[in-house]
Every structure is written in structure tokens, then in C-alpha cells.
């Protein structure tokens, strides 16, 4: 989130199990609703390009590979500063366009901070033993503090899935609350790893617990699970988010991640956000897309709109 947001930062609440313990998600209904979203609403031509440009501003441009280097991060940051080619920017009448954030491992944070200096683009860091989250809690908290000390403005934490799978919601709340305290002024995105949580009811309850514990965003996936972001899962999380806002008046963001690779995906999730939460949630302060390859296809689709021709995907390198 930016510092000039028009609403206070999330504070969370006390642990309130009555908000979620008796809730059961109707999975077939959620799947039917998700399946009809993109068939009931279509966005074409200039409007579609405007939506794709908006999607770019919400991307957390990400590299989370074992062979990450300072050079790769610097190239990624250069793309974050200028996500579209100059000729496409001119054709669209845009003066400035940047992504929502750059997301890296903690040791890569200093390289990203230096490369993004003066751009206003925040650096996000994964932490807490990403992606499994199975290191001891003191080490996970220390990793958060390390990333913040290195300059990360946002921290993407992972939860202990066992606590959700066994229904130990009070322990999950306590764990996330400690992570939020370790983040300090940095905003916290709670990765629920929904592909590991089983039924949608578990997803709904984990979402509510994470928000009660003070998560600024709830995020679907690490991108490393067998099943990552899906529309039914996202719909379930947004319904929990909407209920939390109704209970508390607090604004919580949403971040789908993993498996979003095409401009069509970007459109589908924006339609979901608009249908469920309204246009006001379609801003980088409340909506992010975790992606590494999505930007290339968006740029390719925008070029097709401008020139009338499709170019090869390799002409739109990530960095």
C-alpha cells in the first residue's frame, strides 16, 4: 500500500472465532458463480486495453528462483520502472506507468531497493521460511525483521498449513499476529497456500483468521503448490474479505498468485474484483497480482491493439 491511502492501515481485531467457526462454504455454488463471471461480462477494444493497463499497475513483478542474482533483480526492476515500450506508451497517451511492486527473496532486497530508488515502487520480500513455512517460528520472525532492515516495504508471509488443517485457529491467529508485529511499518501479505488447505470452508476460515490477526492483504498461493490461484478460491477469499469489512470497517487487500500467465487471466481476476467488491478495490493499495510472466502477454496484447498484428512472445521479455 502507498503512504497516501485514503483510509487507515489495517489493525486487525481480537481473535473472534464466532465470525467463522459456523460458516460452511457451498463449493458447487462457488464454482458455478466463478464459472459464469467471464461469460457474463466482456470488455473489448479500448476498454480492454484500459483494464490491461490498470492490471499492470497492480502486478507484483516477481523473481523467486534459486539462481536469482543481483543482475537479474536489476533487470527486473528496470522492467518494473518501464513495463511497456515507449512507442506503446505514446500510442496509449500514457506519460508514466509502473508496476505495483517488485517481489524478491530477502537477500535480494538490497539490490531491488537500490535499483528502484526514486521510482516510488515498493520492494516486497517473501519471508517466514517461504514457501513451506516449516522453519521454527523464531527464525521466521527473524527473517521478517531482516527483510525489513534491508529495506523491504512489504512482507509476504506464509502460514503453517498444519494449524489450518487441524482447525487450530487460535494458534494460527497467534502466529500471524507475531508476524504482523515483526513487520513493523512494513505491510504484511498473508499467503494461505490455498492449494494445500483442502475444502473451501478451510480457505474461508483461514482468510478470516489472517485478517483478524492484522494481515494487510490475504494472498492465495506461494506459486509453488500443485494448485495455485483459482477463481473459486479467490471468490471464497473475497467473500470473507467483504464480511470482514462489514464487521470492522477495515480495508484488506487481495492478491492472487501462481498460475496467472495471460492477459485473459488478468481480465478474469479484475472482473471478479469488480463484481464482488466494486471498482474501488481495483487499485494497487487493495489489489495485487503475483506474477513473473503475466506482464509479457499483457504487453503483447496491447501491441496487437495498437498495431493490429500479433508479435512473437519472445519480443516481450520479462526483463
Which residues participate in catalysis according to the annotation? Answer: 156, 219, 255
Mean of pLDDT values over 154-173:
98
How confident is the model at residue 101, as a pLDDT? 97
- Band (pLDDT 50/70/90 cuts) for residue 309 is confident
C-alpha cell of 129? 521460511
Instruction: Assess contact for 179 and 142: CB atoms under 8 A.
Output: no
**Residues whose CB is less than 8 angstroms from the CB of residue 214 and which lie 6 or more positions away in sequence, other chains included:** 10, 11, 12, 176, 177, 180, 188
Would you say the C-alpha torsion 171, 258, 94, 92 has a positive or negative sign? Answer: negative
How confident is the model at residue 293, as a pLDDT? 87
pLDDT one-digit tens code per residue, 43-59: 888 999 999 999 999 99
Please give the model's pTM, rounded to 2 decimal places: 0.94
Whether a cis peptide bond, with omega within 30° of 0, leads into 131 is yes
Three-class secondary structure of residue 188 per DSSP: strand
Region of 288 (left: φ > 0; alpha: ψ -120 to 50; beta: rest) is beta
Q: What residue spans of the chain are helical by DSSP H? A: 27-40, 45-57, 70-81, 86-92, 109-115, 137-149, 161-165, 169-183, 200-212, 231-248, 263-277, 294-307
Percent of the chain clearing pLDDT 90 (strictly above)? 88
Nearest to 34 by CA among 229, 199, 234: 234
- Band (pLDDT 50/70/90 cuts) for residue 2 is very low
Q: How far apart are CA 62 and CA 206, in angstroms?
A: 24
Structural domains present in the chain:
44-307 (3.20.20.70)
Grid-cell match 457451498, residue found: 26
Amino acid at each position: 500500500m502507498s503512504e497516501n491511502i485514503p483510509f487507515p492501515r489495517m489493525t486487525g481485531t481480537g481473535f473472534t472465532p464466532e465470525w467463522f467457526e459456523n460458516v460452511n462454504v457451498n463449493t458447487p455454488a462457488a464454482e458455478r458463480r466463478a464459472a459464469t463471471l467471464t461469460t457474463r461480462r466482456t470488455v473489448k477494444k479500448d476498454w480492454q486495453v484500459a483494464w490491461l493497463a490498470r492490471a499492470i499497475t497492480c502486478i507484483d513483478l516477481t523473481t523467486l528462483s534459486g539462481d536469482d542474482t543481483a543482475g537479474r533483480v536489476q533487470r527486473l526492476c528496470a522492467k518494473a520502472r518501464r513495463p511497456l515500450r515507449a512507442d506503446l506508451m505514446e500510442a496509449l497517451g500514457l506519460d508514466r506507468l509502473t508496476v505495483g511492486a517488485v517481489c524478491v527473496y530477502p537477500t535480494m532486497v538490497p539490490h531491488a531497493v537500490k535499483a528502484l530508488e526514486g521510482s516510488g515502487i515498493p520492494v516486497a520480500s517473501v519471508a517466514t521460511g517461504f514457501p513451506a513455512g516449516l522453519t521454527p517460528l523464531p527464525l521466521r520472525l527473524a527473517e521478517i525483521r531482516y527483510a525489513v532492515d534491508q529495506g523491504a516495504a512489504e512482507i509476504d508471509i506464509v502460514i503453517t498449513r498444519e494449524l489450518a488443517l487441524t482447525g487450530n485457529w487460535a494458534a494460527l491467529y497467534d502466529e500471524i499476529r507475531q508476524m504482523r508485529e515483526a513487520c513493523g511499518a512494513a505491510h504484511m501479505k498473508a499467503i494461505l497456500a490455498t492449494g494445500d488447505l483442502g475444502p473451501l470452508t478451510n480457505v474461508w476460515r483461514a482468510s478470516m483468521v489472517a485478517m483478524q490477526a492484522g494481515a494487510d492483504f490475504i494472498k492465495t498461493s506461494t506459486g509453488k503448490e500443485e494448485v495455485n490461484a483459482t477463481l473459486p478460491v479467490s471468490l471464497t477469499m473475497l467473500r470473507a474479505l467483504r464480511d470482514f469489512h462489514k464487521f470492522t470497517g477495515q480495508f484488506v487487500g487481495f492478491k492472487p498468485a501462481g498460475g496467472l500467465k495471460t492477459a485473459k487471466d488478468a481480465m478474469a481476476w479484475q472482473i471478479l474484483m469488480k463484481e464482488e467488491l466494486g471498482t474501488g478495490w481495483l487499485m494497487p493499495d487493495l489489489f495485487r497480482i503475483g506474477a513473473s510472466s503475466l506482464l509479457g502477454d499483457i504487453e503483447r496484447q496491447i501491441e496487437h491493439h495498437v498495431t493490429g498484428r500479433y508479435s512473437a512472445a519472445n519480443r516481450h521479455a520479462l526483463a
